Amino acid sequence: MQLAPDQVSGYFRDGFLVLPALYCAAEVAVLQAETQRLSEVMSDCVKRERSGAARSILRVHETDGETASAAFRALTRTPRLVQPVTQLLGDDQVYIFHTKINVKAAFEGGIYSWHQDFGTWRSDGLRAPLPITAMVMLDDATELAGCLYFAPGSHQDGDVAHEEDHALGALNRLSADRRQLTRVLEARRPVPIVGVAGTVVLFHSNLVHGSGHNMSPWDRRQIYVVYNPVANKPSAVESPRPDFVCSRNCMAIEMVSDADILSTVGGSTAGKAPLTLGAACD
C-alpha cells in the first residue's frame, strides 16, 4: 500500500495521517477476541485498573512470552501498516520498538495527559524522534469514549519538557510542562481523532497528544504499534526499562500477507487460496 503525495505532505504538515476503515469487520473481530483473551492473562505485561480490568496489554507482537499473539503479530507485519510507515521514513529497515493495547473500560477508563511520546522514549536511549506509531482502532473511537486529541503540527515545534505530574491522576508517567504546553495549544488548536473500528492513524513521536476519560458505556480499545528505524535503535542506558516497553529485538521485520490476520483463526482461510485485500474486507 502506497500513500498518495497529498497524504505524505499532510503527514509532514500535521504530524499525523488518518486512514479510515483500513481493516475490515472480520479482521477487527479477530483482534477484539484476542484482546479479550489477552486481558485475562496474569502477567507484568498486563496493567490493570483498580477494579482488576485490563488497562494496557504490552508486547503482543512477538512469538514468545505470556502476551504473544499470532493475530497481533500478523497485524504488525501487514503491508497496510508497514508500507506507509517505511514510505514516510524513507527507510525499509524498521523494527517494532513496542506494542501496546490500551483498553479504556466503559465508564472507568482514565485520562492520558498531554505529552510527546519522545519525551519518554528519549530516556530509553533513542537518539532522534524518528519512530512512527500506527494506532489501529479496535472499537469505534468517539469523543464520549475518550478518543485521542492531537495538536496538529506540534511535532514541528521540537521537544517539549516533560515532568512527573501526579495532580491529574493521569495514567502516563510523564506529562508535558504546562507553560510550554499552553503555548503549543494556544497556537495549534487540538482536534479529536474519531473513527470507526479498523481505522488506522499514523503519528509522529513528537506530536503533542492526550486523551480524556471514557464517559461512555462502551469500551474503547486501540492498539499502538511503534516502528523505529534499525539505524535509530536505542543506545545503552543505565537502568533500562523492561523489554515489554523498550524492545531489545531490533531485527528488521519482514512483511506477511494482508490475509494473515484471518489466517490465524482455525479454519478461516486454511487450505484456501490466499485472500486479496478486497476479499478480506468483503
- For cell 494506532, name the residue: 135
The whole-angstrom separation of Cα 130 and Cα 89 is 8
Arithmetic mean of pLDDT, 75-91: 98
> Mind listing the domains of the chain with CATH numbers?
15-266 (2.60.120.620)
Arithmetic mean of pLDDT, 257-269: 77
Per-residue pLDDT at 201 exceeds 90: yes
Q: How many residues does the chain have?
A: 282
**Pairing relation of β-strands 54-58 and 112-115?**
unpaired
* Residue 265 binned pLDDT confidence (cut-offs 50, 70, 90): confident
The whole-angstrom separation of Cα 282 and Cα 276 is 10
* Residue 19 binned pLDDT confidence (cut-offs 50, 70, 90): very high
Per-residue pLDDT at 13 exceeds 60: yes
The whole-angstrom separation of Cα 45 and Cα 282 is 34
pLDDT above 70 covers a percentage of the chain that reads 90
* Residue 138 binned pLDDT confidence (cut-offs 50, 70, 90): very high
* Residue 86 binned pLDDT confidence (cut-offs 50, 70, 90): very high
Arithmetic mean of pLDDT, 234-243: 93
Q: Which residue spans within 20-129 are E strands per DSSP?
A: 46-48, 54-58, 94-104, 112-115
Per-residue pLDDT at 228 exceeds 60: yes
Per-residue pLDDT at 67 exceeds 80: yes
Helix orientation angle between 5-14 and 79-89, rounded to the nearest 10 degrees = 70
Per-residue pLDDT at 75 exceeds 60: yes
Arithmetic mean of pLDDT, 3-29: 98
The whole-angstrom separation of Cα 227 and Cα 218 is 29
Per-residue pLDDT at 237 exceeds 50: yes
Per-residue pLDDT at 165 exceeds 80: no
Lowest-confidence range among 3-12, 205-214, 262-271? 262-271
Per-residue pLDDT at 53 exceeds 90: no
Per-residue pLDDT at 107 exceeds 50: yes
Per-residue pLDDT at 34 exceeds 70: yes
Give the pLDDT score at 50.
82
* Residue 278 binned pLDDT confidence (cut-offs 50, 70, 90): very low
Give the pLDDT score at 164.
76
- For cell 483498580, name the residue: 50
Give the pLDDT score at 271.
34
Strand partners, 134: 202, 225
Buried b (16+ CB within 10 A) or exposed e, 233-253: bbeeeeeeeeebbbbeebeeb
pTM check: above 0.85 = yes
Give the pLDDT score at 51.
84
Torsion on CA atoms 60, 63, 69, 75, rounded to nearest 10: 80
